[in-house]
Structure 1
Amino acid sequence: MKRSPFIPSTSTGPSRPTNASSIPYAGRRSSTPRTGQSNAEAAKFNGAANGEESPYLRSFGSSTSDGPISGADRVWHYATGDVTTQSGSVGQWAIRMGRRLVDTYKVPVALFNGAHGGQPIAFFQRNDANPDDLATNYGRLRQRLQAAGVMAQVRGVLWYQGESDNDNVPVHVTGFASLIQDWRSDFGTAVSGGSRYYVYQVRTSPCGNTTAVNLREAQRRTRPASPQTGRSS
């Protein structure tokens, strides 16, 4: 398969997908990388995504929140979209996006889902004293990327989270600013210009309520931290 001009290959090895680009999944749900809450976790609710699976879509380890289980899974798996928190699970959002990248650019893609439903922004923060802390969401994802040998080649991070911050704008804005600063220091250090970050506003009526109006407005008004950061409404 040819390489896309803007999706570089990672280093290769006996158990590593050749020319795989690395896209960690950050997301969480208002219940929350990709990373963030449940909309990023993208579990199966209606309809199947198994038709999007491909031998050119891989994931490393497991998205489980159990630290010891996460730490023990250090193997590449075929990516799957219809199950969560299991080896190779990436969610339906990621598997669909990954398949379109494979079909369009003819490159293998590595997907990492670090989302966890129903968690506030504090749940996703790095433990600065121990960035690889398996007791933290950040540490589990970071360890998976390191063990896969792709942390420096991360091309993009997708983030959807906010509902579980209960419209507490200062807490969310401050927490996200800290989180993206840590991502920038850890991810994509070998990528020219750095990793790309795609930030999604919470929905107008997330999870059946309308209590996130102020937070949604704050997300809209927040200026991207750099040209490598994009926002979607």
Structure 2
Amino acid sequence: MTVRARLVITGPTGVGKTEYVNELMERFPIEVINMDSIQVHAFFRVGPGRGDARHGVRRHLYGYLSPHDSLDVAAYVRNATAVAHEIEHQGHLPMFEGGSRSLLPALRAAMPLAIFGIRPPNDLDWRKARLRKRVEGYFTDDLLVREIQEAVRLGYGDTRLMRDPLVYMQARDYLGGKMTLEECKRAMVGSMLQMQDAQLAVFDTLDISWVTASKDAPSVLAGHIESWIEASGWRSSLRGQAA
């Protein structure tokens, strides 16, 4: 029996995947399966940019691990496969979403995937401006500061996420007086740029159909997904909103 490929939406951190995923949720009977190795952990939402409380769309494998636990990639793949089967049984379309450099290759080795991605343009100024906007959001109403303070209160101060050099390490250095707020923000942007490059280096080894964040609107990606649904045979098994 031919196994149909499962849908993946990927892209590097901070590229703006959420806007594209929101468009897909509006148009297709999708249930999202987390494919971000940080968002599997409970409690932490601001730094990872967790959006699984939005839209009333069913989302899976977010926040299911304690902040003290380590992610087991093989166990994740088993769980994700079981969840995808259940979503399909309900007549919905499973969609893996995230930019993990470890989880995406592991899923690809376990099942056929149709991978679509959102990538930044080859424009360093655009990338910096986009990431700077994200970083500014962390400090709006002290969202990140309050999350860190609460994490310490709950005993999560020495977890891997709080030692993460992408966001939390710089924020803790700022709160500890080791750098100014502006130095903290610049350090975060720099770390995210490095992460983007590392993610793209992995993604470039995979077969991914790309759209570019600076010029392709979310509707462009949705059109590609609609064509894929038709060509792959998924439409006949989907229930719910029209695809």
The TM-score range, normalised by the shorter chain, is 0.3 to 0.5
Richer in helix (by share): 2
Which structure has more relative contact order (CA 8 Å, sep 6+)? It is 2
Using the size of structure 2 for normalisation, the TM-score is 0.33
